[in-house]
């Protein structure tokens, strides 16, 4: 990934476009394969964090043979520091509803659900109004597609797609074994497309203006724009749509307070990047921390020199310990042990070398935990301990 790029603001997602009826009626007349090809050539990747190619996801579900299929919009938005999806749903809900219905047309689904984070109950009345208006129009154009809201109940793990299905089915929100993947075995065991709110909103842009307009933004492997939830020690907290591929140095120039010592990219489950690595780090989908580019679901938290990195890590580990569903041992026990361990080192009850043991434990979790929650604890743990070791010890 190249980083020779200037930070560029974009206005696709929140641009008010009152022609959703036209976008919907035109696109449901297009053959499924043509819409899939449009998405594939845009190179849109999922904005929920993992970056799975959206066109391929829709294609796999379209190819699954079943009478019943589902489209699910993941609006659980539980990652600490992320607050963009609620804005999309409150400011441009028709883009998301239109995208869900076009997806239904592509894969052959007649039902869609919005899995809405429990704390976003205040969005429900307006969203229900939008859904009624939307369904009224669907009837007018003879489109058989219904959308319902399913309220989450406040567990971070229920944002994980298979735990989300379990929760919708009335069971404990615990991740399933994968494979099978949602494209063949999702909600109620049926082929399901599950996409993040922002991903769906981008498909609206692609279906309205064509793939090229999206593809022309960003860089290789990371095409298009992305919403960033900017928080922490910044004079400009808020939500910004930016072209992908920017360097972290450019980002900090724009949003830092002049004293930024580190940026947490991707929320608690992402990586902490120290100042010395800002210019060599780009924001995008290819590679991991040392591979120079970092993916993010949008959370960008800035920390200045007044912040204790021990407190930051302590806070993340409390969060993971609380939110671990407890189903698998590496995560259930590992989160507890990491938290206890760093506290013991900070109090001087364990020496600094104990941190190396904890790093090995975090690495073991990365390879042995069942789902992304336990697997990603090592991201923030290792990047904070490696870069701010002196702040961890007594």
Ligand X SMILES: Cc1cc2nc3c(=O)[nH]c(=O)nc-3n(C[C@H](O)[C@H](O)[C@H](O)COP(=O)(O)O)c2cc1C
Residue 275 binding target from ligand SF4, ligand X, none, CB below 5 to 8 Å by type: none
> Whose Cβ is closer to ligand X: residue 12's or residue 388's?
12
Binding-site size, ligand SF4 (CB under 6 A): 14
- 54 and 44 in contact (C-beta within 8 Å)? yes
Q: Does 154 bind ligand SF4 (CB under 6 A)?
A: no
> Whose Cβ is closer to ligand X: residue 85's or residue 233's?
85
Burial level of 142, CB count in 10 A (0-12/13-18/19+)?
A: exposed
Q: Does 162 bind ligand SF4 (CB under 6 A)?
A: no
Residue numbers 44-103 binding ligand SF4 by CB under 6 A: none
> Whose Cβ is closer to ligand X: residue 86's or residue 277's?
86
Q: Does 328 bind ligand SF4 (CB under 6 A)?
A: yes
Burial level of 90, CB count in 10 A (0-12/13-18/19+)?
A: middle
Residue from 264, 269, 324, 383 touching ligand SF4 (CB under 6 A): that is: 324
Residue from 97, 369, 385, 392 touching ligand SF4 (CB under 6 A): that is: 369
Candidates 75-83, 193-201, 249-257, 321-329: pick the segment binding ligand SF4 (CB under 6 A). Answer: 321-329
Q: Does 325 bind ligand SF4 (CB under 6 A)?
A: yes
> Whose Cβ is closer to ligand X: residue 371's or residue 392's?
371
Burial level of 125, CB count in 10 A (0-12/13-18/19+)?
A: exposed
Q: Does 157 bind ligand SF4 (CB under 6 A)?
A: yes
> Whose Cβ is closer to ligand X: residue 156's or residue 278's?
156
Residue from 188, 326, 360, 386 touching ligand SF4 (CB under 6 A): that is: 326
Candidates 15-23, 95-103, 117-125, 369-377: pick the segment binding ligand SF4 (CB under 6 A). Answer: 369-377
Residue 49 binding target from ligand SF4, ligand X, none, CB below 5 to 8 Å by type: ligand X
Residue 46 binding target from ligand X, ligand SF4, none, CB below 5 to 8 Å by type: ligand X
Candidates 5-13, 121-129, 223-231, 364-372: pick the segment binding ligand SF4 (CB under 6 A). Answer: 364-372
> Whose Cβ is closer to ligand X: residue 156's or residue 185's?
156
Contacting residues toward ligand X, per CB under 6 A: 46-50, 52, 74, 76-79, 156-157, 159-161, 194-196, 199, 371-373
> Whose Cβ is closer to ligand SF4: residue 321's or residue 346's?
321
State the residue number with the nearest CB to ligand SF4.
374
- The minimum distance between CB 291 and ligand SF4, in angstroms, equals 24
Q: Report long-range pairs for 272-277 (Cβ below 8 Å, ≥24 apart).
A: 272/309, 272/312, 272/380, 272/383, 272/384, 272/387, 272/388, 273/248, 273/383, 274/387, 274/388, 277/248
Q: Does 7 bind ligand SF4 (CB under 6 A)?
A: no
Residue 161 binding target from ligand SF4, ligand X, none, CB below 5 to 8 Å by type: ligand X
Contact footprint for ligand SF4 (CB under 6 A): 157, 175, 324-328, 331-332, 369-371, 373-374
């Amino acid at each position: 990934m190249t980083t020779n790029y200037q930070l560029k603001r974009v206005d696709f997602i929140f641009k008010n476009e009152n022609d959703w009826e036209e976008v919907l009626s035109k696109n449901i007349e297009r053959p499924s394969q043509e819409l899939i090809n449009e998405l594939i050539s845009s190179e849109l990747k999922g904005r929920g964090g993992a970056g799975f190619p959206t066109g391929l996801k829709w294609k796999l579900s379209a190819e699954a043979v079943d009478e019943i299929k589902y489209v699910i919009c993941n609006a659980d938005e539980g990652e600490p520091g992320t607050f963009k999806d609620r804005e999309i749903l409150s400011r441009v809900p028709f883009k998301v509803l239109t995208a869900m219905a076009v997806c239904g047309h592509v894969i052959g689904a007649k039902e869609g659900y919005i899995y809405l984070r429990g704390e976003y109950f205040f969005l429900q009345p307006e969203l229900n109004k939008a859904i009624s208006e939307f369904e009224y129009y669907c009837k007018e154009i003879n489109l058989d597609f219904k959308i319902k809201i399913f309220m989450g109940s406040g567990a971070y793990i229920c944002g994980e797609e298979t735990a989300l299905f379990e929760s919708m089915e009335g069971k404990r929100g615990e991740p399933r074994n994968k494979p099978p993947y949602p494209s063949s075995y999702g909600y109620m065991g049926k082929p399901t497309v599950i996409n993040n709110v922002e991903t769906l909103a981008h498909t609206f842009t692609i279906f309205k203006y064509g793939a090229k307009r999206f593809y022309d933004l960003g860089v290789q492997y990371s095409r298009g724009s992305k919403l960033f939830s900017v928080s922490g020690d910044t004079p400009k907290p808020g939500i910004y749509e930016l072209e992908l591929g920017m360097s972290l140095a450019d980002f900090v120039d724009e949003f830092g307070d002049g004293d930024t010592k580190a940026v947490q990219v991707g929320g608690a489950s992402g990586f902490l990047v120290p100042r010395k690595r800002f210019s060599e780090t780009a924001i995008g989908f290819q590679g991991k921390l040392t591979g120079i580019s970092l993916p993010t679901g949008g959370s960008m938290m800035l920390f200045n020199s007044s912040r204790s990195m021990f407190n930051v890590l302590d806070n993340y580990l409390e969060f993971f310990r609380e939110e671990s569903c407890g189903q698998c041992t590496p995560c259930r026990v590992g989160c507890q042990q990491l938290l206890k361990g760093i506290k013991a080192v900070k109090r001087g009850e364990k020496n600094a070398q104990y941190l190396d043991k904890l790093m090995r434990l975090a690495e073991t979790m990365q390879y042995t935990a069942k789902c992304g929650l336990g697997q990603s604890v090592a991201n923030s743990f290792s990047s904070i301990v490696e870069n701010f070791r002196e702040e961890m010890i007594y």
